[in-house]
Amino acid sequence: MLQIAYIRENQEQVVKALAKRNLDATEMIQKVIDLDEQRRATQVELDNILAESNKLSKEIGDLMRNGEKSKAEILKEKTAKLKDKTADLKERLNTFTDELTNQLYQIPNTPAAIVPEGKTPEDNLTVFEQGEIPVLAEGSLPHWELAKKYDIIDFELGAKITGAGFPVYKGKGAKLQRALISYFLDKNTNAGYNEVQVPHLINEASGYGTGQLPDKEGQMYHAVADDLYLIPTAEVPVTNLYRDVILNESELPICNTAYTPCFRREAGSYGAHVRGLNRLHQFDKVEIVRIEHPEKSYEALDGMVEHVKEILNELKLPYRILRLCGGDMGFTSALTYDFEVFSTAQDRWLEISSVSCFETFQANRLKLRFKGKDGKTQLAHTLNGSSLALPRVLAGILENYQTPEGIVIPDVLKPYCGFDIIN
Protein backbone atom coordinates (compact mmCIF):
# COMPACT_ATOMS: atom_id res chain seq x y z
CA MET A 1 0.00 0.00 0.00
CA LEU A 2 1.02 3.61 -0.33
CA GLN A 3 2.95 5.11 2.55
CA ILE A 4 0.85 7.41 4.72
CA ALA A 5 3.69 9.90 5.08
CA TYR A 6 3.99 10.14 1.29
CA ILE A 7 0.23 10.68 0.89
CA ARG A 8 0.26 13.33 3.61
CA GLU A 9 3.08 15.26 1.94
CA ASN A 10 1.97 14.74 -1.68
CA GLN A 11 -1.84 14.66 -1.55
CA GLU A 12 -2.46 16.45 -4.87
CA GLN A 13 0.24 14.48 -6.72
CA VAL A 14 -1.20 11.16 -5.51
CA VAL A 15 -4.72 12.08 -6.68
CA LYS A 16 -3.32 13.19 -10.03
CA ALA A 17 -1.27 10.00 -10.44
CA LEU A 18 -4.24 7.76 -9.62
CA ALA A 19 -6.32 9.63 -12.21
CA LYS A 20 -4.13 7.83 -14.79
CA ARG A 21 -5.90 4.67 -13.61
CA ASN A 22 -9.20 6.42 -14.43
CA LEU A 23 -9.86 6.63 -10.72
CA ASP A 24 -11.06 9.78 -8.97
CA ALA A 25 -9.35 9.19 -5.64
CA THR A 26 -10.08 12.63 -4.16
CA GLU A 27 -12.51 11.37 -1.50
CA MET A 28 -10.45 8.26 -0.71
CA ILE A 29 -7.28 10.26 -0.18
CA GLN A 30 -9.07 12.93 1.86
CA LYS A 31 -10.52 10.19 4.10
CA VAL A 32 -7.00 8.83 4.60
CA ILE A 33 -5.75 12.32 5.55
CA ASP A 34 -8.64 12.83 7.99
CA LEU A 35 -8.22 9.42 9.63
CA ASP A 36 -4.48 9.96 9.92
CA GLU A 37 -5.02 13.34 11.61
CA GLN A 38 -7.48 11.77 14.08
CA ARG A 39 -5.08 8.92 14.73
CA ARG A 40 -2.13 11.22 15.30
CA ALA A 41 -4.12 13.57 17.56
CA THR A 42 -5.34 10.61 19.61
CA GLN A 43 -1.78 9.30 19.86
CA VAL A 44 -0.52 12.68 21.12
CA GLU A 45 -3.31 12.83 23.73
CA LEU A 46 -2.57 9.27 24.82
CA ASP A 47 1.16 9.96 25.06
CA ASN A 48 0.51 13.04 27.22
CA ILE A 49 -1.75 11.11 29.58
CA LEU A 50 0.74 8.25 29.85
CA ALA A 51 3.46 10.77 30.63
CA GLU A 52 1.26 12.34 33.30
CA SER A 53 0.48 8.90 34.75
CA ASN A 54 4.17 8.07 34.94
CA LYS A 55 4.86 11.37 36.67
CA LEU A 56 2.09 10.76 39.21
CA SER A 57 3.33 7.22 39.85
CA LYS A 58 6.75 8.59 40.70
CA GLU A 59 5.24 11.21 43.01
CA ILE A 60 3.11 8.56 44.75
CA GLY A 61 6.25 6.49 45.34
CA ASP A 62 8.05 9.46 46.83
CA LEU A 63 5.08 10.31 49.08
CA MET A 64 4.78 6.74 50.33
CA ARG A 65 8.47 6.63 51.15
CA ASN A 66 8.10 9.89 53.09
CA GLY A 67 5.11 8.55 55.04
CA GLU A 68 2.63 10.96 53.41
CA LYS A 69 0.03 8.29 52.74
CA SER A 70 -3.02 10.62 52.61
CA LYS A 71 -1.48 12.73 49.87
CA ALA A 72 -0.50 9.58 48.01
CA GLU A 73 -4.12 8.33 48.15
CA ILE A 74 -5.35 11.57 46.54
CA LEU A 75 -2.90 11.08 43.65
CA LYS A 76 -3.94 7.44 43.33
CA GLU A 77 -7.51 8.59 42.67
CA LYS A 78 -6.17 10.78 39.87
CA THR A 79 -4.21 7.91 38.34
CA ALA A 80 -7.32 5.70 38.44
CA LYS A 81 -9.23 8.27 36.39
CA LEU A 82 -6.28 8.55 34.01
CA LYS A 83 -6.26 4.76 33.55
CA ASP A 84 -9.91 4.86 32.49
CA LYS A 85 -9.13 7.64 30.04
CA THR A 86 -6.07 5.74 28.81
CA ALA A 87 -8.18 2.66 28.08
CA ASP A 88 -10.69 4.77 26.16
CA LEU A 89 -7.96 6.49 24.14
CA LYS A 90 -6.28 3.18 23.31
CA GLU A 91 -9.60 1.84 22.02
CA ARG A 92 -10.12 4.97 19.91
CA LEU A 93 -6.55 4.77 18.63
CA ASN A 94 -7.00 1.15 17.58
CA THR A 95 -10.25 2.07 15.80
CA PHE A 96 -8.64 4.93 13.87
CA THR A 97 -5.61 2.77 13.04
CA ASP A 98 -7.76 -0.10 11.74
CA GLU A 99 -9.96 2.25 9.72
CA LEU A 100 -6.89 3.95 8.27
CA THR A 101 -5.27 0.63 7.33
CA ASN A 102 -8.48 -0.63 5.73
CA GLN A 103 -8.79 2.59 3.74
CA LEU A 104 -5.18 2.36 2.57
CA TYR A 105 -5.83 -1.23 1.43
CA GLN A 106 -8.45 0.11 -0.99
CA ILE A 107 -6.05 2.44 -2.80
CA PRO A 108 -4.06 1.04 -5.75
CA ASN A 109 -0.45 1.83 -6.50
CA THR A 110 0.40 5.07 -8.27
CA PRO A 111 1.55 4.47 -11.88
CA ALA A 112 5.08 5.35 -12.92
CA ALA A 113 5.54 8.44 -15.07
CA ILE A 114 6.03 6.44 -18.30
CA VAL A 115 2.75 4.53 -17.94
CA PRO A 116 0.59 5.56 -20.90
CA GLU A 117 -2.87 7.07 -20.52
CA GLY A 118 -5.74 4.77 -21.38
CA LYS A 119 -8.77 2.86 -20.16
CA THR A 120 -8.74 -0.52 -21.93
CA PRO A 121 -6.25 -3.07 -23.31
CA GLU A 122 -6.63 -1.38 -26.69
CA ASP A 123 -4.81 1.62 -25.22
CA ASN A 124 -1.70 -0.38 -24.26
CA LEU A 125 1.49 0.68 -26.03
CA THR A 126 3.38 -1.84 -28.18
CA VAL A 127 7.07 -1.26 -27.45
CA PHE A 128 8.65 -4.29 -29.15
CA GLU A 129 7.76 -6.99 -31.67
CA GLN A 130 9.83 -9.97 -32.74
CA GLY A 131 9.48 -13.01 -35.00
CA GLU A 132 7.66 -13.79 -38.20
CA ILE A 133 4.14 -15.16 -38.00
CA PRO A 134 4.27 -18.56 -39.73
CA VAL A 135 2.03 -19.39 -42.63
CA LEU A 136 0.24 -22.60 -41.76
CA ALA A 137 -0.82 -25.28 -44.18
CA GLU A 138 -4.45 -25.52 -45.21
CA GLY A 139 -6.50 -27.36 -42.63
CA SER A 140 -4.38 -26.23 -39.68
CA LEU A 141 -6.11 -26.59 -36.32
CA PRO A 142 -6.38 -24.66 -33.05
CA HIS A 143 -4.55 -26.25 -30.13
CA TRP A 144 -7.63 -27.80 -28.51
CA GLU A 145 -8.28 -29.82 -31.66
CA LEU A 146 -4.59 -30.71 -31.99
CA ALA A 147 -4.66 -31.89 -28.37
CA LYS A 148 -7.51 -34.25 -29.18
CA LYS A 149 -6.04 -35.38 -32.49
CA TYR A 150 -2.73 -36.44 -30.91
CA ASP A 151 -4.25 -37.42 -27.53
CA ILE A 152 -1.91 -35.18 -25.52
CA ILE A 153 -4.39 -33.08 -23.49
CA ASP A 154 -7.80 -34.27 -22.34
CA PHE A 155 -10.13 -31.44 -21.37
CA GLU A 156 -13.19 -33.67 -20.96
CA LEU A 157 -11.39 -36.04 -18.59
CA GLY A 158 -10.29 -33.12 -16.45
CA ALA A 159 -13.86 -31.82 -16.41
CA LYS A 160 -15.07 -35.23 -15.21
CA ILE A 161 -12.53 -35.33 -12.39
CA THR A 162 -12.87 -31.72 -11.26
CA GLY A 163 -14.62 -29.38 -13.68
CA ALA A 164 -13.99 -27.18 -16.71
CA GLY A 165 -10.57 -25.53 -16.71
CA PHE A 166 -8.66 -28.44 -15.16
CA PRO A 167 -7.05 -30.32 -18.09
CA VAL A 168 -5.26 -33.66 -17.96
CA TYR A 169 -1.93 -33.76 -19.83
CA LYS A 170 -1.08 -37.13 -21.35
CA GLY A 171 1.90 -38.85 -22.97
CA LYS A 172 3.99 -36.47 -25.02
CA GLY A 173 1.79 -33.59 -23.85
CA ALA A 174 2.78 -34.25 -20.24
CA LYS A 175 6.45 -34.62 -21.24
CA LEU A 176 6.36 -31.36 -23.20
CA GLN A 177 4.82 -29.63 -20.18
CA ARG A 178 7.57 -31.00 -17.91
CA ALA A 179 10.21 -30.04 -20.49
CA LEU A 180 9.02 -26.44 -20.52
CA ILE A 181 9.12 -26.24 -16.72
CA SER A 182 12.68 -27.62 -16.60
CA TYR A 183 13.82 -25.38 -19.43
CA PHE A 184 12.38 -22.24 -17.81
CA LEU A 185 13.94 -23.08 -14.44
CA ASP A 186 17.33 -23.77 -16.04
CA LYS A 187 17.21 -20.47 -17.91
CA ASN A 188 16.36 -18.62 -14.72
CA THR A 189 18.96 -20.31 -12.50
CA ASN A 190 21.63 -19.84 -15.18
CA ALA A 191 20.76 -16.13 -15.12
CA GLY A 192 21.44 -15.97 -11.38
CA TYR A 193 18.04 -16.72 -9.88
CA ASN A 194 17.95 -19.02 -6.87
CA GLU A 195 15.40 -21.82 -7.20
CA VAL A 196 12.99 -22.26 -4.29
CA GLN A 197 10.07 -24.60 -3.66
CA VAL A 198 7.25 -22.96 -1.76
CA PRO A 199 3.84 -23.90 -0.32
CA HIS A 200 0.85 -23.86 -2.66
CA LEU A 201 -1.45 -22.64 0.11
CA ILE A 202 -1.06 -19.28 1.84
CA ASN A 203 -2.54 -17.65 4.93
CA GLU A 204 -4.43 -14.38 4.97
CA ALA A 205 -1.38 -12.35 6.01
CA SER A 206 0.50 -13.50 2.91
CA GLY A 207 -2.43 -12.55 0.69
CA TYR A 208 -2.50 -9.06 2.18
CA GLY A 209 1.29 -8.84 1.99
CA THR A 210 1.48 -8.96 -1.80
CA GLY A 211 -1.88 -7.30 -2.50
CA GLN A 212 -4.08 -10.22 -3.56
CA LEU A 213 -6.25 -9.39 -0.55
CA PRO A 214 -8.54 -7.58 -0.31
CA ASP A 215 -8.45 -6.83 -4.07
CA LYS A 216 -8.77 -10.31 -5.57
CA GLU A 217 -10.41 -12.50 -2.95
CA GLY A 218 -13.22 -13.33 -5.39
CA GLN A 219 -10.70 -14.83 -7.82
CA MET A 220 -8.92 -17.02 -5.25
CA TYR A 221 -9.89 -20.48 -4.06
CA HIS A 222 -10.48 -20.33 -0.31
CA ALA A 223 -10.14 -23.38 1.94
CA VAL A 224 -12.60 -22.01 4.49
CA ALA A 225 -12.14 -24.66 7.20
CA ASP A 226 -8.45 -23.77 7.56
CA ASP A 227 -8.72 -20.16 6.31
CA LEU A 228 -6.05 -20.77 3.68
CA TYR A 229 -5.97 -19.74 0.03
CA LEU A 230 -4.69 -21.65 -3.00
CA ILE A 231 -2.01 -19.51 -4.62
CA PRO A 232 -2.88 -17.61 -7.82
CA THR A 233 0.84 -17.26 -8.61
CA ALA A 234 4.21 -18.16 -7.06
CA GLU A 235 4.79 -14.44 -6.59
CA VAL A 236 2.74 -14.60 -3.39
CA PRO A 237 4.64 -17.22 -1.35
CA VAL A 238 8.05 -16.32 -2.81
CA THR A 239 7.74 -12.61 -1.98
CA ASN A 240 6.31 -13.43 1.45
CA LEU A 241 9.52 -15.27 2.31
CA TYR A 242 10.73 -11.78 3.26
CA ARG A 243 7.68 -10.50 5.15
CA ASP A 244 8.73 -8.74 8.39
CA VAL A 245 12.40 -9.01 7.41
CA ILE A 246 15.10 -6.34 7.61
CA LEU A 247 17.87 -7.06 5.11
CA ASN A 248 21.32 -5.58 4.86
CA GLU A 249 21.94 -3.50 1.76
CA SER A 250 24.79 -5.87 0.87
CA GLU A 251 22.23 -8.70 0.47
CA LEU A 252 20.50 -6.89 -2.41
CA PRO A 253 19.46 -7.81 -4.97
CA ILE A 254 17.68 -11.00 -3.97
CA CYS A 255 16.62 -13.04 -7.00
CA ASN A 256 14.42 -16.13 -6.70
CA THR A 257 12.63 -18.40 -9.15
CA ALA A 258 9.97 -21.01 -8.47
CA TYR A 259 7.73 -23.42 -10.30
CA THR A 260 4.23 -23.87 -8.91
CA PRO A 261 0.78 -24.78 -10.08
CA CYS A 262 -1.49 -21.73 -9.95
CA PHE A 263 -5.19 -21.64 -9.11
CA ARG A 264 -7.63 -18.97 -10.25
CA ARG A 265 -11.41 -19.03 -10.18
CA GLU A 266 -11.60 -16.79 -13.28
CA ALA A 267 -15.16 -15.95 -12.35
CA GLY A 268 -17.15 -14.40 -15.19
CA SER A 269 -14.86 -15.70 -17.97
CA TYR A 270 -16.91 -17.08 -20.85
CA GLY A 271 -16.82 -17.27 -24.65
CA ALA A 272 -14.63 -18.63 -27.43
CA HIS A 273 -11.56 -16.73 -26.19
CA VAL A 274 -11.34 -18.99 -23.13
CA ARG A 275 -11.39 -22.28 -25.03
CA GLY A 276 -8.74 -24.94 -24.51
CA LEU A 277 -5.61 -23.65 -22.78
CA ASN A 278 -6.50 -19.99 -23.23
CA ARG A 279 -7.87 -19.65 -19.70
CA LEU A 280 -7.69 -22.29 -16.98
CA HIS A 281 -8.53 -22.63 -13.32
CA GLN A 282 -5.34 -24.62 -12.67
CA PHE A 283 -2.16 -24.06 -14.66
CA ASP A 284 1.61 -24.29 -14.28
CA LYS A 285 3.90 -21.28 -14.16
CA VAL A 286 7.54 -20.51 -13.48
CA GLU A 287 8.04 -17.17 -11.74
CA ILE A 288 10.95 -14.82 -11.13
CA VAL A 289 10.89 -12.50 -8.12
CA ARG A 290 13.39 -9.78 -7.21
CA ILE A 291 13.95 -7.60 -4.16
CA GLU A 292 15.92 -4.53 -5.15
CA HIS A 293 17.41 -1.32 -3.89
CA PRO A 294 15.00 1.50 -4.85
CA GLU A 295 17.66 3.15 -7.00
CA LYS A 296 18.12 0.01 -9.09
CA SER A 297 14.61 -1.44 -9.46
CA TYR A 298 13.81 -0.05 -12.91
CA GLU A 299 17.17 -1.16 -14.24
CA ALA A 300 16.29 -4.60 -12.85
CA LEU A 301 12.88 -4.44 -14.54
CA ASP A 302 14.55 -3.81 -17.89
CA GLY A 303 16.82 -6.78 -17.24
CA MET A 304 13.82 -9.02 -16.50
CA VAL A 305 12.20 -7.95 -19.76
CA GLU A 306 15.37 -8.83 -21.67
CA HIS A 307 15.51 -12.20 -19.90
CA VAL A 308 11.97 -13.14 -20.99
CA LYS A 309 12.75 -11.92 -24.51
CA GLU A 310 15.72 -14.30 -24.65
CA ILE A 311 13.52 -17.25 -23.71
CA LEU A 312 10.94 -16.44 -26.40
CA ASN A 313 13.68 -15.88 -28.96
CA GLU A 314 15.03 -19.36 -28.21
CA LEU A 315 11.54 -20.85 -28.52
CA LYS A 316 11.23 -19.00 -31.84
CA LEU A 317 7.70 -17.87 -31.17
CA PRO A 318 6.38 -14.60 -32.64
CA TYR A 319 5.74 -12.20 -29.76
CA ARG A 320 5.27 -8.59 -28.81
CA ILE A 321 5.75 -6.54 -25.65
CA LEU A 322 3.16 -4.06 -24.39
CA ARG A 323 3.57 -1.33 -21.82
CA LEU A 324 0.24 -1.41 -20.03
CA CYS A 325 -1.83 1.75 -19.81
CA GLY A 326 -3.13 3.06 -16.50
CA GLY A 327 -6.56 1.53 -16.97
CA ASP A 328 -5.24 -1.99 -17.65
CA MET A 329 -2.57 -2.25 -14.94
CA GLY A 330 -2.86 -4.51 -11.92
CA PHE A 331 -3.81 -3.05 -8.54
CA THR A 332 -0.31 -3.37 -7.05
CA SER A 333 1.84 -2.43 -10.04
CA ALA A 334 3.67 0.82 -10.74
CA LEU A 335 4.74 -0.33 -14.23
CA THR A 336 3.93 -3.51 -16.13
CA TYR A 337 5.11 -4.99 -19.41
CA ASP A 338 2.96 -7.74 -20.90
CA PHE A 339 4.36 -10.31 -23.33
CA GLU A 340 1.98 -11.77 -25.90
CA VAL A 341 2.63 -14.66 -28.28
CA PHE A 342 0.79 -14.86 -31.57
CA SER A 343 -1.50 -17.84 -31.95
CA THR A 344 -1.55 -18.45 -35.68
CA ALA A 345 -4.40 -20.96 -35.72
CA GLN A 346 -6.57 -18.65 -33.60
CA ASP A 347 -5.32 -15.50 -35.37
CA ARG A 348 -4.94 -13.63 -32.07
CA TRP A 349 -2.40 -12.56 -29.49
CA LEU A 350 -2.25 -14.47 -26.19
CA GLU A 351 -0.75 -13.01 -23.01
CA ILE A 352 2.01 -15.28 -21.71
CA SER A 353 3.89 -13.08 -19.23
CA SER A 354 3.60 -9.97 -17.11
CA VAL A 355 6.74 -8.34 -15.73
CA SER A 356 6.13 -5.65 -13.11
CA CYS A 357 7.79 -3.27 -10.68
CA PHE A 358 5.78 -2.52 -7.54
CA GLU A 359 8.21 0.01 -6.06
CA THR A 360 7.49 0.11 -2.28
CA PHE A 361 3.79 -0.82 -2.56
CA GLN A 362 4.18 -4.48 -1.56
CA ALA A 363 7.17 -3.85 0.70
CA ASN A 364 5.12 -1.43 2.80
CA ARG A 365 2.48 -4.11 3.38
CA LEU A 366 5.13 -6.76 3.99
CA LYS A 367 7.28 -4.55 6.22
CA LEU A 368 10.13 -5.62 3.95
CA ARG A 369 13.03 -3.29 4.65
CA PHE A 370 16.77 -3.03 4.35
CA LYS A 371 19.41 -1.23 6.36
CA GLY A 372 21.56 1.04 4.23
CA LYS A 373 25.25 1.75 4.58
CA ASP A 374 24.33 4.85 6.57
CA GLY A 375 22.52 2.65 9.12
CA LYS A 376 19.09 3.97 8.18
CA THR A 377 16.27 1.53 7.43
CA GLN A 378 14.05 1.96 4.38
CA LEU A 379 11.57 -0.01 2.30
CA ALA A 380 12.88 -2.19 -0.52
CA HIS A 381 11.38 -2.43 -4.00
CA THR A 382 9.79 -5.67 -5.20
CA LEU A 383 9.44 -6.99 -8.77
CA ASN A 384 8.10 -10.14 -10.34
CA GLY A 385 7.54 -11.71 -13.73
CA SER A 386 6.22 -14.83 -15.40
CA SER A 387 9.09 -16.76 -16.88
CA LEU A 388 6.87 -18.23 -18.15
CA ALA A 389 3.20 -19.18 -17.81
CA LEU A 390 2.85 -22.52 -19.54
CA PRO A 391 -0.68 -22.88 -20.99
CA ARG A 392 -0.51 -20.22 -23.68
CA VAL A 393 3.15 -20.91 -24.43
CA LEU A 394 2.15 -24.52 -24.99
CA ALA A 395 -0.81 -23.39 -27.12
CA GLY A 396 1.54 -21.24 -29.21
CA ILE A 397 3.97 -24.12 -29.72
CA LEU A 398 1.24 -26.58 -30.70
CA GLU A 399 -0.35 -24.18 -33.17
CA ASN A 400 2.70 -22.46 -34.66
CA TYR A 401 4.81 -25.61 -34.95
CA GLN A 402 2.12 -27.83 -36.48
CA THR A 403 2.87 -29.46 -39.83
CA PRO A 404 1.02 -32.08 -41.91
CA GLU A 405 3.38 -34.68 -40.36
CA GLY A 406 2.81 -33.58 -36.77
CA ILE A 407 3.86 -30.96 -34.21
CA VAL A 408 7.58 -30.27 -34.39
CA ILE A 409 9.32 -29.64 -31.06
CA PRO A 410 11.33 -26.37 -30.84
CA ASP A 411 15.07 -27.11 -31.05
CA VAL A 412 15.80 -25.74 -27.58
CA LEU A 413 13.28 -28.17 -26.02
CA LYS A 414 14.34 -31.34 -27.82
CA PRO A 415 17.01 -32.29 -25.22
CA TYR A 416 14.40 -31.86 -22.48
CA CYS A 417 11.66 -33.80 -24.31
CA GLY A 418 13.63 -36.72 -25.66
CA PHE A 419 11.63 -36.60 -28.90
CA ASP A 420 11.50 -34.34 -31.95
CA ILE A 421 7.85 -34.48 -33.00
CA ILE A 422 4.37 -35.21 -31.71
CA ASN A 423 2.60 -37.39 -34.27
Distance separating alpha carbons of residues 361 and 353, to the nearest angstrom: 21
Confidence band (pLDDT; 50, 70, 90) for 272?
Answer: low
- Averaged pLDDT for residues 274-297: 95
- Averaged pLDDT for residues 53-68: 80
Work out the number of other CB atoms within 10 angstroms of the CB of residue 282.
17
354 is in an annotated binding site: yes
* DSSP string for residues in 138-170: TT---HHHHHHHTT-EEHHHHHHHT-TT--EE-
Work out the number of other CB atoms within 10 angstroms of the CB of residue 265.
17
- Averaged pLDDT for residues 70-76: 77
Distance separating alpha carbons of residues 123 and 134, to the nearest angstrom: 26
Are residues 423 and 407 in contact, defined by beta-carbon separation less than 8 angstroms? Answer: yes
Confidence band (pLDDT; 50, 70, 90) for 258?
Answer: very high
Tell me the domains of the chain and their CATH numbers.
4-106 (1.10.287.40), 121-422 (3.30.930.10)
287 is in an annotated binding site: yes
Distance separating alpha carbons of residues 78 and 70, to the nearest angstrom: 13
Of 343 and 195, more confident: 195
7 is in an annotated binding site: no
Confidence band (pLDDT; 50, 70, 90) for 129?
Answer: very high
352 is in an annotated binding site: yes
Phi, psi angles (nearest 5°) of residue 3: -80, 130
- Model pLDDT, residue 57: 79
- Model pLDDT, residue 217: 80
264 is in an annotated binding site: yes
178 is in an annotated binding site: no
Distance separating alpha carbons of residues 219 and 211, to the nearest angstrom: 13
204 is in an annotated binding site: no
Are residues 35 and 50 in contact, defined by beta-carbon separation less than 8 angstroms? Answer: no
Phi, psi angles (nearest 5°) of residue 221: -80, 130
Phi, psi angles (nearest 5°) of residue 381: -105, 140
pLDDT digits (tens, 9 = 90+) for 205-231: 999 999 999 878 889 999 999 999 999
The answer to whether residue 54 scores a pLDDT higher than 90 is no
353 is in an annotated binding site: yes
Helix H or strand E encompassing 30 = helix 26-65
The answer to whether residue 269 scores a pLDDT higher than 60 is no
Phi, psi angles (nearest 5°) of residue 147: -60, -40
- Model pLDDT, residue 15: 97
